[in-house]
Structure 1
Amino acid sequence: MRLIHMLNKLFTRSLALSVTALSLVGCQLIAKDETVTANNTKPDKPLNVLMIAIDDLNNWGGAWGGPAITPNLDQLAAQSSFFRNAYSAVPACNPSRVAVMTGQRSETTGAYLNETNFRTLPGGQDKVTMPQYFRKLGYEATAAGKIFHHPRGQKAKPAVMSDDISWDYQEAGPTGTGGYQDYVNEQGWAKWHGGIAEYEGLPIIPYIRKHGIWGPIQQTDEQTGDYHTAKYCADYLEKTHDKPFFLACGIFRPHSPQLAPQKYFDMYPLEDIKLPDVPADDMQDIPNIAQHNWSSGFAKLVMSRPEEWKRAVQGYLASTTFADAMIGHILEAFNNSQYADNTVLVLWSDHGFQLGHKNRWEKFTFWKQGAGAPFIIKAPGVKPAIIDNPVSLIDIYPTLIELMQTPSKDDLDGVSLAPLMQQPKQAWPHPAIITYQQGNNAILLDKWNYIQYRDGSQELYNQHQDPEEYHNLAADPQYKSVIDKLKTFIPEVVIPQKEYRPGG
């Protein structure tokens, strides 16, 4: 299976390269002066990278047809290769970011859980992350905000899981927003529920009891940590740099808690909030293993209080619009900079976010609402297009290599999306593969989302006919051939999960 995967990667790369420029044999290293860009032209100088990562941003933005007001994201999507059907490699913050930055799935790195530092796993110290790769080519790699699982932090010593060895420099600034203390009681639990530890027999773990809060804050934009991140990146883009750069900007909102300045809440009057559609019978065809996770008790508690549920939705929408405004600061500086025409801009979120969908809150599922992720690439010479094929965030690393004419790397699990950017309507044979804890996978190809759990139970959704994934088709015999085909893409485990924690 791994041989087939390698051949698929090689086939994809060959589609994008001019046959008159070079001949690929096996996994040879492609020299810079032999490669061509997506529009078959050679750049006069190395291209830069501007990466914008947003935490827990789902598909509610305007360009995705959602209710959130996101003018900056919408404009960028219209100017770019807009991957409207993209997925995280793992629907959890840390392993998703490890997958993006290493170009390898959990099965390859062993990083399945939020608690896992991939550097401490077998072979982890030898992993070459994206910023490390470009540094080896003479780039300056700079980060602000959350790129790996933790931002650098403001202490003298960088946070371990910010992976400081990846960077030339990390900005020691705040992230997110303030205002947290206004919404918790003396015990640290959210005031709106007071510290309820379970609901309908389902536990409500301390993390969500503390961070499941939402509301306006007294801070202005300029007083927030996310603004600090955006301003640092904007200032960086206004300067002249002697070397090509890899600049990564991490915006923390709309990650929990959903707190933002008052003006963003004013854009979503509570009486106008529309709650997510959660059919009462939606879970009847879901396998027992997926009936609930650690967030289900919290989700049911919120949904049992419709007015609080509205406030939660309002908080997520307000936080999304706040994040969009921070992105706008970065984009304004970028568009006005000397680098606008020689930089590949890539924007992504680590996964989606659920607000009651299938009795879930936040992420940690294989359904589109939890695993789907905004993903946009703006590259010189590539025409704007909407791409609806399922793709994975793990493809970012090989795609940048292709677009930027840099040496190939044969240990990546993803494939270059450069051919798809050039021909958006082509049939795409490469599925988006999702893992959440070892033995659980989803395969997304064409219109299908196939889910297989570690106990062998299954789900299958036709996303064209059932975009909300309400109807599990896995038990219908007429889809056996579809399932058999999709099963062949389930990845092999190279490094097993170190430990398993339910809900981890």
Structure 2
Amino acid sequence: MKVKHIRSALGSLLVLSAGGPSHLAAGGPGKDAPNILFVAIDDFNDWGPTQLDGAPFEVDTPNFDALADRGILFTNAHCNAPSCNPSRTSIMSGLHPASTGVYANGHDWLANERFDDILLLPEYFQQHGYTTLGGGKIYHANQGNDFNRKGLLSPRGWEDFFPSFEEQLPVPSMPDIKPDRGEGNFNWGGTGKPLEDMGDHKVVNWAIDQLETPQDKPLFLAVGIYRPHMPWFVPDEFYDHYEDVKITPATNPVGWKKNIPESLANRWDRHKDYVGKPGPSRGYAACVTYADFELGRLLRGLEASPLAENTIVVIWSDHGWHLGEKDHFSKFTLWEESTRVPLLILKPGANKQEVDTAVSLLDVYPTLLALAGLPANADNDGQNLLPIIKAETDLNRAILTSDNEHYHAVRDGRYRYLKSDKAEALFDHFNDPREFHNIADQPGSTAIIKRLAKTLPSLPAPSMPQRSKPEKL
């Protein structure tokens, strides 16, 4: 079955209608304040949306594409840390990892006093008159495994959370199947189980119920979709879609590391023996298409609800994902594949727009406050994106992604600058979009590096201690 036929294969269930919200209500809390649908999709790189076109072969995401055709798509959006916990902590708190020391999955932000006096995103909306509900993976999980996962979840700001404040996904988060590849959760295939058994399906069902429930206050609803996080198991119909597709795995030029400092080029090479093999790409693509299917169900639920005409939707991912690029299968790097994320805002009355200026997930918190007509939060490290949406592309706006206090990436509209305590590298996306040719030592790069280096933190917060039993990644 060819991927291009997926729409007919799964029927109209996949595709959103073209209609939607038509006006933006007056800002501020009250019965006319806009509702917020806040959708997180885990490990979702730029393979999905056709407007980003990061995949080396066709990956079908009809629902995201339909949304991008009538929303604001940020084509150069990046996370602030290339792993789940620090990225999600950052977007939910409005604080950069370099401000808090939360750089890794093993950093327990709940034990960090830096957050004691910070209003988390749902707290801010709650204190300004909103009903705040959440379900699925919003924060990072720190217990269990990928088949039975519990959450590092703060009850702060939530009136209710599905399935509970102790569990981020229905247990088990996916049908009862076991890895068989000897690679832990680096595994893929069909579940052989009904769609209804998937944890994401249950979360979306719950979210649709909330959208249909009459509200006496504006609603802030956060929904976390877990796929395409590993292991890449999905209902058979999604995995089978890619059976006859010619999978073109990513490859790397021979000698690509030769002009990149060793400490930067060799930081990660997880599962490098799979480079050039189609299996991981097929598993990931199937999960992306499944996540898109659940996104479509959620948005159709919104369109059929009483909230359809007055809801702002934001869709984001916590970080990207390598599928063989740079000899790596995972996140955790400061290359484009790991930091670049889909970011889409759909608001009543808006037309299709692509914003090419560099932005980060840190900008989402202040932007949502502005869209809702709420006062700015002075503690936010990010910037309200509304002026950027209205302006011409700014190639010089630079954003910061941090791996730890010693290693950072700066990305603007043209360049990526990597800086560690030991080395630096510069890449020109106009001429080298895959970032294989370091130009840091070339004539003319000095001024560029000097400008980008101004975005680096002068005194980054030191890393928090790891939890005593850090999660097995």
Q: Does 1:344 align with 2:335?
A: no
Preserved CA contact (<8 Å) 2:74 2:342: yes
Preserved CA contact (<8 Å) 1:58 1:352: yes
Q: Does 1:163 align with 2:154?
A: yes
Could you tell me which amino acid in structure 2 is paired with residue 213 of structure 1?
N
Match of 2:432 in 1: 466
* SS in structure 1 at match of 2:427: strand
Q: Does 1:450 align with 2:412?
A: no
Could you tell me which amino acid in structure 2 is paired with residue 288 of structure 1?
E
Distance 1:328 1:236 in 2: 16
Preserved CA contact (<8 Å) 2:399 2:455: no
Match of 2:405 in 1: 438
Query: Alpha carbons of 1:174 and 1:260: their partners in 2 closer, same or farther (altered >3 Å)?
Result: same
Counterpart mapping for 1:1-12 below 5 A: none
Partner residue of 1:58 out of 33, 36, 45: 45
Distance 1:40 1:331 in 2: 19
Preserved CA contact (<8 Å) 2:260 2:437: no
Q: Does 1:302 align with 2:274?
A: yes
Q: Does 1:114 align with 2:105?
A: yes
CA RMSD of aligned residues (A): 2.5
Query: Alpha carbons of 1:40 and 1:221: their partners in 2 closer, same or farther (altered >3 Å)?
Result: closer
Query: Alpha carbons of 1:113 and 1:42: their partners in 2 closer, same or farther (altered >3 Å)?
Result: closer
Preserved CA contact (<8 Å) 1:112 1:497: yes
Shift of 1:312: 1.1
Match of 1:13 in 2: none
Shift of 1:113: 1.1
Counterpart mapping for 1:100-249 below 5 A: 100-150=91-141, 161-172=152-163, 173-174=169-170, 178-179=174-175, 181-184=177-180, 191=181, 194=182, 209-249=183-223
Query: Alpha carbons of 1:447 and 1:381: their partners in 2 closer, same or farther (altered >3 Å)?
Result: same
Q: Does 1:312 align with 2:283?
A: no
* SS in structure 2 at match of 1:281: coil
Q: Does 1:483 align with 2:449?
A: yes
Preserved CA contact (<8 Å) 1:215 1:311: no
Could you tell me which amino acid in structure 1 is paired with residue 87 of structure 2?
S
* SS in structure 1 at match of 2:190: strand
Distance 1:480 1:437 in 2: 24
Partner residue of 1:259 out of 225, 233, 241: 233
Percent identity for Structure 1 against Structure 2: 31
* SS in structure 2 at match of 1:358: helix
* SS in structure 2 at match of 1:461: strand
Query: Alpha carbons of 1:220 and 1:177: their partners in 2 closer, same or farther (altered >3 Å)?
Result: farther
Shift of 1:500: 7.5
Distance 1:247 1:41 in 2: 19
Shift of 1:144: 0.7
Query: Alpha carbons of 1:178 and 1:404: their partners in 2 closer, same or farther (altered >3 Å)?
Result: closer
TM-score, scaled relative to structure 1: 0.81
Shift of 1:42: 5.4
Could you tell me which amino acid in structure 1 is paired with residue 104 of structure 2?
L
Preserved CA contact (<8 Å) 2:106 2:466: no
Match of 1:357 in 2: 325
Match of 2:34 in 1: 47
Give the number of the structure whose residues are more often helix, by fraction. Answer: 1
TM-score, scaled relative to structure 2: 0.86
Distance 2:250 2:150 in 1: 37
Counterpart mapping for 1:418-433 below 5 A: 418-423=386-391, 425-427=392-394, 430-433=397-400
The range that moved more, 214-223 or 72-81, is 214-223
Preserved CA contact (<8 Å) 2:74 2:343: yes
Preserved CA contact (<8 Å) 1:177 1:260: no
Preserved CA contact (<8 Å) 2:369 2:376: yes
Preserved CA contact (<8 Å) 2:139 2:152: yes
Distance 1:111 1:69 in 2: 35
Match of 2:247 in 1: 273
Preserved CA contact (<8 Å) 2:107 2:466: no
Match of 1:98 in 2: 89
* SS in structure 1 at match of 2:47: coil
Could you tell me which amino acid in structure 1 is paired with residue 375 of structure 2?
P
* SS in structure 2 at match of 1:149: coil
The range that moved more, 108-117 or 52-61, is 108-117
Shift of 1:292: 2.5
Could you tell me which amino acid in structure 2 is paired with residue 181 of structure 1?
I
Match of 1:89 in 2: 80
Gaps of 5+ in 2: 1-22, 164-168
* SS in structure 2 at match of 1:433: strand
Once the two structures are superposed, what CA deviation does each residue of 1:143-191 show, in whole Å capped at 9, x if it has no partner?
A: 11000112999xxxx956111223111011417853563433xxxxxx2
Distance 1:124 1:340 in 2: 34
Preserved CA contact (<8 Å) 2:179 2:185: no
Shift of 1:401: 1.2
Distance 1:499 1:125 in 2: 17
Distance 2:448 2:225 in 1: 39
Distance 1:448 1:494 in 2: 22
Distance 2:100 2:400 in 1: 15
Could you tell me which amino acid in structure 1 is paired with residue 347 of structure 2?
A
Partner residue of 2:356 out of 369, 381, 388: 388
Distance 1:135 1:249 in 2: 16
Could you tell me which amino acid in structure 2 is paired with residue 289 of structure 1?
S
The range that moved more, 465-474 or 81-90, is 465-474
